[in-house]
Chain A
Amino acid sequence: MGMTITEKILADHAGRKEVFPGDLIQARVDIALGNDITAPIAIGQFRRIGAREVFDRERVVLVPDHFTPNKDIKSAEQCKVLRDFAREQGIIHYFEGGEIGIEHALLPEQGIVVPGDLVIGADSHTCTYGALGAFATGVGSTDLAAAMVTGEAWFKVPESMKFVYYGKLGEWVSGKDLILYTIGDIGVDGALYRAMEFTGETIRDLSMDSRFALCNMAIEAGAKNGIIAPDEVTEGYVRGRAKRPYRLYRSDEDASYVDVREYDVSRIEPQVAFPHLPENTRGISEVGRIEIDQVVIGSCTNGRIEDLRIAARVLKGNRVAPYVRLIIIPATPLIYHQAMEEGLFEIFLEAKAVISPPTCGPCLGGHMGILAKGERAVATTNRNFVGRMGHPDSEVYLANPAVAAASAVKGYIAHPEEVVKEV
């Protein structure tokens, strides 16, 4: 019987010829990642058992991206724990100041994660790297600590679900809408403990930025990982970036899946997830009039250059509605630079948007755009839980960058067509 791409990567990293769903394996990790919230606990655990050296200073990656630039004294102390550890251990991929980007945009961009990798990260959105054809999953700080010492982690081999997308995407529809639609279909635990494998002709035509957004939110369906088999689009992205040799895996024809779902994407319109779960999705035509106070365009889901370009296209020549704040967060310094050179910043500034340095910031209610009681935001982020962006009585609506930008201009959740006059 054949294996899925997830099973093949896990088998190879466990030194086995084959693995089956349910098998418990001890596997070699290519990259172990932590951030300023999760790594301090991992570093504490590392020291507690008397470990002296990380297993490989090129494979332990530390990105202080959540509460940076340091939002308060306690956050500064947490970042200092990372800095001191990085210096002591000679961590190669530690990022500081103007090098910092949102980890899940930064690692692929810098070629630190490559196709065929097995990656664990003490951050739930580590599943983003599945877009490269890697097995990547979120873990807690203690799992990270164990991997920092041993270079290994234990896994239960997940069952795989296959999602087949066919048809042509509508003009304002992106990877974000595909994943929101899918979560709306299967629910926030619809893929619990499972691998989500995204395939089909639509995926083959999807840009890398859209693929990252798609895999990023696999965790929002409870999945262990999301994955897309690498193709020429993946190779085009990886070429010139990869810091290590990579390997391209794909699922066998006769691999087995616990569930196969097919979606005709030509029928999917831009999606909006209502509070307080990502599964509460509706097509934009069914949203009704919802007034908003803030818009956030950024995050590990949608802070990439393509996202900023789409936002700029909608914002060009427009202005943010009165009493509404628009915060735009390029995800990495490179994207920031690129957006500046392409003239996107001028469009954003003329629209009266705030341009933030790369940070996770408001996505998790950390800083740089917190909501007051009763306020509503449209965000291109990944979670709309109670209190996610601030006060427990505030609300977050998840959408793609085009819808977010259009909503900022209108002051209510709006279809991009309401704002963009086609030439």
Chain B
Amino acid sequence: MKLRGRAWKFGPDIDTDRIIPARYLNTSDPKELAKHCMEDADPEFAKKVQPGDIIVAGKNFGCGSSREHAPIAIKAAGVSCVIAKSFARIFFRNAFNTGLPILECEEAVEGIDQGDEVEVDLGKGEIRNITKGLTFKARPIPPFMESLLKAGGLMEWVKQRLEVGGR
């Protein structure tokens, strides 16, 4: 699957409070959450983000709380993929569980600037900076995570297992 959009660049340690502040967690409606996505990191983001756009961030993206509202908000805002130097572990799980593609690649983060046109080939783990004519290879997705993705997410995987087990 290929994804394409403009890059939105963020720094290191973007916490889940900045991705979706707790003051908006009195709902889990994706559309409502999307309106406030990244609000405390860039108040203009939710207004200006276009479908397909890509978040590019430094290390430890999604640190802090376990709120699944964070990947839900990013996905509902139209973001097609997050590329970061590294991800906090709960966010990493949550992204897979909610179907938000994420890729780890230090070189890509260094080689992409705000507004660059970026294309991602998820199957190959390839990131292309079209504006600058650069190509990067992301860290491969762990095989187990890939099997979850293939099943259509964790709950579908659970459902399939339950059906097999007759429970």
Query: Footprint of B on A, CB under 8 Å?
Result: 24, 37-38, 40-41, 44-45, 48-51, 66-67, 71-72, 74-75, 78, 121-124, 126, 138-143, 145-146, 149-150, 154, 156, 188-189, 192-193, 222, 224, 277, 364-366, 370, 383, 385-388, 390, 392
Contact = CB atoms under 8 A, between A and B. Distances in A.
A18 to B, nearest CB: 19
A392 to B, nearest CB: 5
Contact of B97 (A24, A71, A75, A140): A140
Contacts, number: 137
Contacts of A277: 13
Secondary structure class of chain A's binding surface, majority of residues: loop
Interface string B58-86: 01100111111100100000000000001
A37 B28 CA distance: 8
Given A38-B66, A150-B161, A387-B40, A222 B60 contact: yes
Contact of A189 (B22, B39, B63): B63
Given A141-B68, A149-B162, A222-B89, A364 B155 contact: no
A341 B7 CA distance: 58
B23 to A, nearest CB: 6
Query: 8 closest A-B pairs (Cβ-Cβ)?
Result: A74-B26, A142-B97, A140-B94, A140-B68, A364-B22, A189-B60, A124-B66, A387-B40
Interface residues of B, number: 42
Contact of B28 (A40, A123, A392): A40
Interface of B: 13, 15, 17-18, 21-23, 25-28, 39-41, 59-60, 63-69, 72, 86, 88-90, 93-94, 97-98, 142, 144, 153-156, 158-159, 161-162
Given A78-B26, A387-B21, 18 more contacts: A45-B155, A72-B26, A122-B66, A122-B68, A123-B66, A124-B65, A139-B66, A139-B90, A140-B93, A142-B154, A143-B154, A156-B142, A189-B60, A365-B21, A366-B25, A383-B65, A387-B17, A392-B21
